[in-house]
Amino acid sequence: MSETVAFTIDLDGRRQIGLAEADATLLSLLRDGLEITGPKRGCNQGVCGACTVMIDGWPQRACLTLAAACEGKSVTTLEGYAEDPVMQRLARAFAEGGAVQCGFCTTGMLISARKLLEEEAKPDPDRIRQALSGNLCRCIGYRKIVEAVTAAAEGAET
Amino acid sequence: MPAFVQRPTRLDEALALKAAQPDSLYLAGGATLVAMKNAGLIEPESLIALDGLQELSGITRLADGSIRIGAMTRHRETAASPLLTGSLAMLRQAAGKIANPPVRNMGTMGGSLANADPGADYPAALVAAEAELELMGPEGERRLPISELFLDWYETALKQDELITGIHLPTPSAAPSHYRKLARVSGDYATASCAMVLTADGGLRVAIGACGPAPLRAPAAEAALCGHLHDPKALAEFSQSLVDLADPIDDVRGSADYRRKLIPRLISASLDRLLQEQPR
Amino acid sequence: MTAPDEGQVVGRSLPKLENLEKVTGRAHYIADLSRPRMLHGAILGSAFAHARIKSVSIEAALAAPGVAAVITGADVGPGRMGAFIKDEGAIAQDKVRYLGEPVAAVAAETEAQARAACRLIDVVYEELPALTSPEAALAPDAPAIHEALQDYVKIFDSGSEGNLCSRSRFDEGDVDAAWADCDLIVEGTYTTQAQAHVAIEPCGALAEVDQAGRITLWSANQSVFRVQANVAEALSIPMSRLRCLTPQVGGGFGIKMEAHVQPIVVALAEKSGRPVKLILSREEDFEITRARHPFKIRIKTGAKKDGTLLARHCEVLVDCGAYADDSPGVLGYSLLMSRGPYRIPNVRAEGQLVYTNKLRFGAYRGFGNPQVTFAGEQQIDEIARRLDLDPFEMRRRNMVVAGEPWFLGGEVASCGLAECLDKVEQAAPPLPPAARGKRRGRGLAINAHISGLLGTGAIVRMLEDGSIVLNTGATDIGQGSDTVLAQICAEALKVPLDMVKVASPDTDGSPFNWGTTASRVTYTTGRAVIAASEEVARQIKEQAGAILECTVEDLELRSGGRVGIVGSDRELPFAAVSGRAHWAAGGPIVGHNTLVYDGKTMDPKRGSALGLPFPQIGVFSFIALLVDVEVDEASGQVEVLEAWSACDVGKAINPKLVEVQLEGAFVQGLGYALFEEMVWDGPRLANPSLMDYKIPTSLDAPFALHSILIEAPQPEGPFGAKGVGEIGINPVPAAIANAVAMALGRPLKDLPLSGERVLAALMESEG
C-alpha cells in the first residue's frame, strides 16, 4: 500500500496541491485529491476517453498518466477552458446541437475537439471522426457530435 | 525510500537508477504499463520515467541517409513524420493506426516494442523495413536486428536492465510500401496485419503481424517470388510459405483458422494496392 | 426564453435543460458525490461459476488497513428480489451461480484498501458442474441451479421447473393446418450473441443511514422506485425506510433498471454505520451486472405465390443466466414481436427460458425484439427473393395498418409504417457500384415496438410567483425526458420552457414511476403530465374567475403565463392567481394525475396465450430501416456506408432528441450486428474489458445516418406522441444482414456478422 503524498501540479493555469497515494494516477489525483470531477473514470484502461485532459497541450488519458509524472507539466481540464472562446463555441454547439446525451463522455470529447480546432480551423467530417475516435460515446451515434464540431468551427467567423 | 516515479534527465543516470533498484520498471509513455497497473497485473515498486532523456527523443536523418527514431518518440510524431516516405511510408501508416489520438500522444515506439504485443502495429512494419534496434544496458550499447527481438509470446531478447534507446531504419527508397491492418474496430489491436514493400528489383518484402508471437517473414520465399509478382501461382506459393510459418492463436479478435485464411488475402490485397500505386 | 417560443414549445428542438452543466464538466454523477466520513466499498466475486459456499473467513480482511466493515451472505438475511421471480439475494448465500457473483463486500477508507481487503477474504467452495448453455442446463442429469425454485415467490409463474425458468406459448389461427395452403415455406435456425450495454458510466451507489435507521440511497439507476423495491426485498426492510435519489445518470440502455450494487451498498452502510460509496470497475460492470440475452431461434414462414404471408412458427431458446431478473418478460415480449408488423393469420410463437451459470441476462434496449427481428426479417427477404418480389413490395403487401390488430389482438390505433417505407425508399439513391476488392449490398428491415406499461404519475405545482415545478419521478438517464416532459407541461400551460423546472426523482416526494424503460416515459408519463397540467389550468381558471368575476368557461390560458377572458383584453398573470391561492383562498395550486397503462395485449377471441408476461403492454411505434454496406473481399469485414431510418413516433415533442435516439440506437445496433460479443471461455467471461470487448468508435459509425421522422398521432398520446427509445436498434442487425446477404448472394444466420463469419461465407460463394 503506498502512502499518501502531496502533489503540486500546474492545473488549469495555477499551481495546485492535492493529496493522493504515491502511485496514484492523474485521474485519481484530480477527482479524489482535488475534487475536479469533469474527467470521468469510465474504464481506467485508456480506452473510453472519458478522462481525457490536456497535458502540455496534447489530449491524453488522465487514467494512464501517473500523478507523479506530471510534475513540471501543465494539465488542463474543462474547467481551465472556462474563459476560452473556442471551448465556449464548442460547448454551445454541443449543447444546442443534440451532441450531449448522458454527458459522461462529453468532457473528454470536448478536450479532443478543442485540440482539433487548434490544429485545423475547418476540419471536414472525416477529419473530425478521426480526431474524436478515442472518445467513446454510447448514446448519440456520433453524427450530431461531428456536426457540433463543424458548427463550432464555422461559428469562428461570426 | 525513493520516489515512486523517478525522472532522470540523462541516460547514464537512468541506467544507474535501474541498477540500484532491480525491482523498478522503466516507464515510457505509460499507455500500456499504467493500464496493466490499474488492472492489477503488475505492482511495480518504483518507476524510472524516460521522458526526460533527450537522447531518446525525435526522428532524425543521419549523415548516411538512414533514419533514427528515438525510443521515446510518440506515435503521433511517427505518424506525421515527413522523413518516413516511400519504402518507410508503411511505418508512418502503422503509427497512425495505433489506438486513437490521445493514446498516440502518449505511447512510444520503444515502449511498444519492449511490451512485444503480437497484435501491436510496429512489429510487422519494422520487420518489413529491416529495422535495427539500438540498445543500452549495464554492459553497454549493442545493436539488434528487429527480427531477433521477439522470442516468444510477450518475450523479447532484451537482457536484464537493458533499454531500447533507438530504432534505426535504412535509407528510405522510392519503393512504395503499405501497412494494412485488420481489426474489429478502429484502434483495436490487430487481428492480423501486413506490412509490404515493393522492391526496386521486382520483388517484395512482407511481414505479417498478429499471426504468431513474432511477425512472420520468409526471405527465401521472397527471393523466389522476385520477378514473378504477376504470376498468381508464384504469389500463392509465397503466401503459403507465410501461412506455414504462422502460429496464430484463437482469441476474441478471431480464430487461428481465420488468421491463416487472412494471410494470403491480405498479401494479395496489399500487393494489388501497391501495384496500382507504383510509378510506371 | 425569447418571445417566439411562448406557447410553441412542443415540436421544437430545444436544448436539453441540463446541457449547460454537462458541457462545463459540472454535472454530477454517482461517482462524483461524497458525504462526510464516507467509506469506499469493493466486492469480492466468486471464483467459480457454480459452487456451494462451505465457509467464508473475513478475519484477515477485517484486520486490514482502513477496513471498517465486511459483509457476507450471513449479513443480508433471507430476502430475495426479482421483477418476475424472487430468486436473488443481495449477496450469494450457500451457493454461487455465476463466476464473479458477489460473495462478500468490504467498506474501507479508500477504494484501494477495500479492494486489497477483498483479496484477503478466504472462501472455501465445493465446486459443482457449471452449466454454460441452455441445452446443457436442460439435460436430464443437469444439477439444479436453483434447488429451491419451487419455493420462490413468483410474480409471474409459467412452468418453472428444474432449470427451466419460464416458458411461453402464444397461438393465433391454425398454424399446423396453414402450411398446406402455402406455396412457399422457408425455414431456418438463427443465433444471436450476448451484448453488453457499455453505458460509459459504470454502475455505482452511495448509501447513508441516519440515527433512526432511515437510509438515503443515491445511485445510477433508471428508476428510483425499482431501486427502493429491490433493496427493500433483498434486505427485508420496509420500503419507507429507504429514500432513493438519483444524480445525473451516464446512460443506461437497461443495465440500470433493476438492482445492481444498491443492496450491497446499503448493507455496507448499515454494517459500518458510515456512508459508503461503491463504483464498479469497468471489468466488474461487464462481469456482474446484466447483458442482452443470447437467443437460438427456429423460425418457419409460409406464403402464397403472390407474397401473401399465411403462417409463421417461431420457437426460441433463451439463455437466462443465473437469475431471472427481467428475463421472463424478455421471452414473452420477443414472442409477441416475432410475427413482426405483418398481417399473418396463423402464428405460433413459443419459447423456453433456461437458467445457466452465467451472469444474469436482462433488460437491454429492444428487450428481445432485435433477436427475433434478425431472424424474421431475413425470412421476409428470403421469401421475396424466391418469389422474385421487391423487398419493399413484399413488405407493403403484408404490413399492418392502423385498425388492424397486433398478434394476439392488441390494438394498433395509429400506424405510419407505409409512410416510413415510402420515405426510406425515396431517400436512398441507386446503390453505387462496389470499389475494387469490395462488394456492396443494400438491406431493408421494418419493425414495431411498444411504448407503455405500468404505473406513472405527475405532480404539477405552481409556485407563488406563477412559475411551475414538475415532479414525475421519471429518471432522465441522458435521453432527455426531463426536457421532453417539461416541454409537454409548458405547452399544456402555454408558458415558456424556462417557467417549468423539473424536480429530480425522489421516492419521498415524487409520484410513483415504474421506470425509464419500455420506451415509455414520453408516452405514459407525458399523458400524466398533460392531465396534471389540465388540472392546474382548471384551478388557475377557478382562481381567475373569482378575481375577474366570470365563469371558468369564460376563461382561456394565454401564452407567457397569463389567464384572460375570451374575447377581452382583461387578463391576469399566473402570479396573481397563484398568490391568491397561496395566501387567501382555495389553497396552493397543485395538479396531479396517476395512471396505469391499461390497453389490453390480448383479445381472447383472437388467440390463446400461455405465460403472457404483460397483459397490458402498450401502443405501437413503427420503423423502416435501409442500410448500405460494403464487404471487404480480403477480410470479410463489413462496413456500413449509409443508413436511412424512418420512424413513426406519433409526434416528435423534441425532434432533435428523437433523431439522437434513432442515431444512437443505430450505432449500438451496428456494433451488435458486426462485432460486439461477450465471449465465454468455459464459465469465464473472456473479454470483460474495453480492451477486448469493442464498441463502435466515431470511425466505425457512418456519418451518413439519416433520421426521418414520421408522425401518425396516437390518439391518447401526449400531443400524439409514442415512444422512440428502443425501436431504433431493433431492425439494425436484420437490415445489415439483408444487405450482406445481397452482397454475398447468401444469407448469414448467426450474429455477430464478424469478418470471420462473413469471410467464411464469401469463400464458400467463391467456391
- Quote the minimal CA–CA distance from A56 to chain C in Å: 20
User: Residue B203 in contact with residue B225, Cβ under 8 Å?
Assistant: yes
Residue of A nearest to B7 (CA): A69
Between the alpha carbon of residue A126 and those of residues A56, B170, C104, C503, the distances in Å are 26, 33, 48, 40
User: Residue C384 in contact with residue C394, Cβ under 8 Å?
Assistant: yes
The identity of residue B264, as a single letter, is: P
Residues from chain C that touch B184, judged by Cβ atoms under 8 A, are 675, 694, 754-755
pLDDT number for residue B1: 60
Closest C-alpha to C486, from C675, A130, C474: C474
Burial class (CB within 10 angstroms; exposed 0-12, middle 13-18, buried 19+) of C60: middle
Asked if B115 has any chain A CB less than 8 Å from its own CB, the reply is no
Helix (H) or strand (E) holding C186: strand C184-191
In this complex, which of C634, C686, C691 lies closest to B266 when CB atoms are compared? Answer: C634
Q: Do C660 and A142 touch (CB under 8 A)?
A: no
Q: C114-146 pLDDT, tens per residue?
A: 999 999 999 999 999 999 999 999 999 999 999
Q: Do A138 and C253 touch (CB under 8 A)?
A: yes
Find the angle CA(C206)-CA(C209)-CA(C211) to the nearest 5 degrees.
160
Asked whether this complex has an ipTM greater than 0.95, the answer is yes
In this complex, which of C65, C197, C660 lies closest to A144 when CB atoms are compared? Answer: C660
Which three-class secondary structure state does DSSP give residue C386? helix
Report the side by side order of strands in the sheet with B204-209: B177-182, B192-198, B204-209
Cell of C419: 409512410
Between the alpha carbon of residue C143 and those of residues B133, C130, C164, C550, the distances in Å are 58, 9, 12, 76
Residue A16 has φ and ψ, to the nearest 5°, of -130, 150
Q: How many helices (H) and strands (E) does chain B have?
A: 10, 13
In angstroms, the CA C730 to CA C628 distance is 17
- Quote the minimal CA–CA distance from C469 to chain A in Å: 22
Cell of C703: 456519418
Query: Which residues are within 8 A (CB) of B7 and not within 5 positions of it... i.e. 6 or more apart?
Result: A69, A71, B48, B49, B51, B52
Q: C543-571 pLDDT, tens per residue?
A: 999 999 999 999 999 999 999 999 999 99
Chains that touch A (3 or more CB pairs under 8 A): B, C
In angstroms, the CA C234 to CA C259 distance is 10
pLDDT at C387 over 90: yes
Residue C185: how many CB atoms within 10 A of its CB? 15
Closest C-alpha to C491, from C555, C452, C537: C537
pLDDT number for residue A2: 67
User: Residue B58 in contact with residue B71, Cβ under 8 Å?
Assistant: no
The identity of residue B250, as a single letter, is: D
User: Residue C349 in contact with residue C336, Cβ under 8 Å?
Assistant: yes
Residue C453 vs residue B278, higher pLDDT: C453
| E runs forming strands in C633-767 | 638-648, 680-681, 684-685, 705-710
In angstroms, the CA B176 to CA C348 distance is 61
In angstroms, the CA C676 to CA C195 distance is 6
Closest C-alpha to C725, from C501, C439, C532, C519: C519
Confidence of residue C2 (pLDDT cuts 50, 70, 90): very low
Closest C-alpha to B91, from B191, B203, B209: B209
The whole-number average pLDDT for the span A101-120 is 98
The identity of residue B92, as a single letter, is: R
Residue A52 has φ and ψ, to the nearest 5°, of -60, 125
Residue that is written with C-alpha cell 502495429 in the block: B121
Residue of C680, C694, C697 to mutate, interface with B, max B Cβ within 10 Å: C694
Asked if B250 has any chain C CB less than 8 Å from its own CB, the reply is no
User: Residue C338 in contact with residue C350, Cβ under 8 Å?
Assistant: no
pLDDT at C1 over 70: no
Burial class (CB within 10 angstroms; exposed 0-12, middle 13-18, buried 19+) of B240: middle
What residue ranges of chain B have pLDDT lower than 50? none
In this complex, which of C250, C690, C699 lies closest to A43 when CB atoms are compared? Answer: C690
Residues from chain C that touch A136, judged by Cβ atoms under 8 A, are 198, 200, 690, 695, 697
Asked if C695 has any chain B CB less than 8 Å from its own CB, the reply is yes
Burial class (CB within 10 angstroms; exposed 0-12, middle 13-18, buried 19+) of B237: middle
The identity of residue C360, as a single letter, is: R
pLDDT number for residue C6: 41
Q: Angle, to 10 degrees, between the axis of helix A143-154 and the axis of helix C655-674?
A: 130
Helix (H) or strand (E) holding C443: strand C438-452
Q: Bridge-partner residues for B176, per DSSP?
A: none
Cell of C489: 407541461
Which three-class secondary structure state does DSSP give residue B79? helix
Cell of B21: 533498484
Which three-class secondary structure state does DSSP give residue B145? strand
Q: C666-710 pLDDT, tens per residue?
A: 999 999 999 999 999 999 999 999 999 999 999 999 999 999 999
Residues from chain B that touch A44, judged by Cβ atoms under 8 A, are 35, 38-39
Query: Which residues are within 8 A (CB) of C296 and not within 5 positions of it... i.e. 6 or more apart?
Result: C134, C189, C190, C191, C316, C317, C318
Between the alpha carbon of residue C678 and those of residues B256, C255, C327, C666, C687, the distances in Å are 19, 15, 18, 19, 6
In angstroms, the CA C19 to CA C334 distance is 35
Length of chain B: 280
Residue of B nearest to A52 (CA): B102
3-state secondary structure C76-127: CCCCCECCCECCECCCCCCEECCCCCEEEEEEECCHHHHHHHHCCCEEEEEE
In angstroms, the CA C31 to CA C111 distance is 12
Handedness of CA C209, A43, B249, B255 (dihedral sign): positive
Q: Do B3 and A2 touch (CB under 8 A)?
A: no
In angstroms, the CA C649 to CA C183 distance is 36
Q: What is the mean pLDDT of chain C?
A: 97
pLDDT at C346 over 80: yes
Between the alpha carbon of residue C134 and those of residues B149, C139, C296, C298, C355, the distances in Å are 46, 9, 10, 15, 7
Residue of A nearest to B33 (CA): A64
Q: Bridge-partner residues for C639, per DSSP?
A: C630
Burial class (CB within 10 angstroms; exposed 0-12, middle 13-18, buried 19+) of B62: exposed
pLDDT at C324 over 90: yes
Q: Do C635 and B182 touch (CB under 8 A)?
A: yes
In angstroms, the CA C410 to CA C404 distance is 9
Residue B207 has φ and ψ, to the nearest 5°, of -130, 135
